[in-house]
Structure 1
Amino acid sequence: MSQKLIRSLLQGRLNAFAAARTLPVAWENVGLDPKPSKYLRFNLLKAPTVSADLAGAHREYSGVCQISVFTPKGKGPTDAETLAADLAELFPLNDRLTSGGFVMQITSPCSEGPAITGDLHFMVPVSFTYRADTI
């Protein structure tokens, strides 16, 4: 259940960011057809849930949030790198997102992965780690 809440918190923040820029987002298991010239793709890469106490009451939910930035091929990296920098400001290290008493924390700075040039797009993956603990 908490991974679902984590997804909701992260997607809510990204959705507001994208809406303010009229930037489409391809959410998991929801495609964009046809593909726009510029868009984001959201993926949550969940780590196994662990428990750090012998009673088994504690749960640690963690993983990697990856937001891929797609810009038109052949236009250089500037647009993608600018959006990647904006995402780093949107999801800063140690930021906490909350819902009621539930708190999740961003546990690494946003990091750009290697760019990939496809048939129509130039893609830069941006990722960060997160964690939430419940008892």
Structure 2
Amino acid sequence: MSHKIIRSLLEGRLKAWAAARSPALRIAYQNVVFSPAASETYLRAFLLPAGTNSNDLAGAHRLYTGLFQITIVAPAGGGTGAAESLADELAALFPLYDRLTKTGFSVQVMTPVEPGPEQQGDTAFALPVSFQYRADTT
């Protein structure tokens, strides 16, 4: 399934970037056990596939679209600046119209990385950022 390849491409780039930071950022992936420390800033990664279409009469073409969301989670009480700086770095990591390729399959970033509504909790502040993706196969 191509959404599996899309997930591996997007999460792979995110993982390499997060591991190279100092200090490294941990990532909570979908359906993987994760226990953050109380004072830890970390990321949550979500692949949200949309419908799969076909744009040819033979049915050979597949169009995969969806949204990749990364939620930046920081301890409460520290302001928004650190999370917003990470959002800027993520925008540079996934530039508009960038292509990620694996064994002849490519996925393209179709919209700029944009922030979503911030969520303030008692112990954490969350800033989701996301972009749309597209992949075509024949």
For the aligned pair, the TM-score class normalised by the smaller chain equals over 0.9
- Tell me, in whole angstroms, the C-alpha distance in 2 between the residues paired with 1:31 and 1:76: 28
What is the distance in 2 between the residues matched to 1:53 and 1:27? 35
Local SS of the residue matching 1:75: coil
Asked if 1:133 is matched to 2:122, the reply is no
Q: 5 Å matches for 1:44-59?
A: 44-59=47-62
**One-letter code aligned to 2:43:** L
Gaps of 5+ in 2: none
Between the aligned partners of 2:12 and 2:36, the Cα distance in structure 1 is 24
Give the corresponding residue for 2:114. Answer: 111
Alignment partners' CA distance in 2, 1:34 and 1:125: 17
Deviation at 1:34, TM superposition (A): 3.9
Distance 1:59 1:6 in 2: 13
1:16 matched to 2:16: yes
Q: Which amino acid aligns with 1:12?
A: G
2:64 corresponding residue in structure 1: 61
Equivalent residue, structure 2, for 1:2: 2
What letter is aligned with 1:20? A
* CA-to-aligned-CA distance 1:30-73 (integer Å, 9 cap, x gap): 13214452000000110011101111100000100000001110
- Aligned partner of 1:73 in structure 2 is 76
CA deviation map 1:2-38 (0-9, x unaligned):
1100000001100001111211100000132144520
Q: Distance in 2 between matches of 1:118 and 1:52?
A: 44
Distance 1:98 1:18 in 2: 20
Counterpart Cα distance in 1 of 2:86 and 2:105: 29
Residue 85 of structure 1 is matched in structure 2 by: 88
Q: Give the gaps of 5 or more residues in structure 1.
A: none
Moved over 2 A (4+): none
Q: Shift of the alpha carbon at 1:119?
A: 2.2
Post-superposition offset of 1:95: 0.2
TM-score (norm 2): 0.94
Give the aligned length.
135
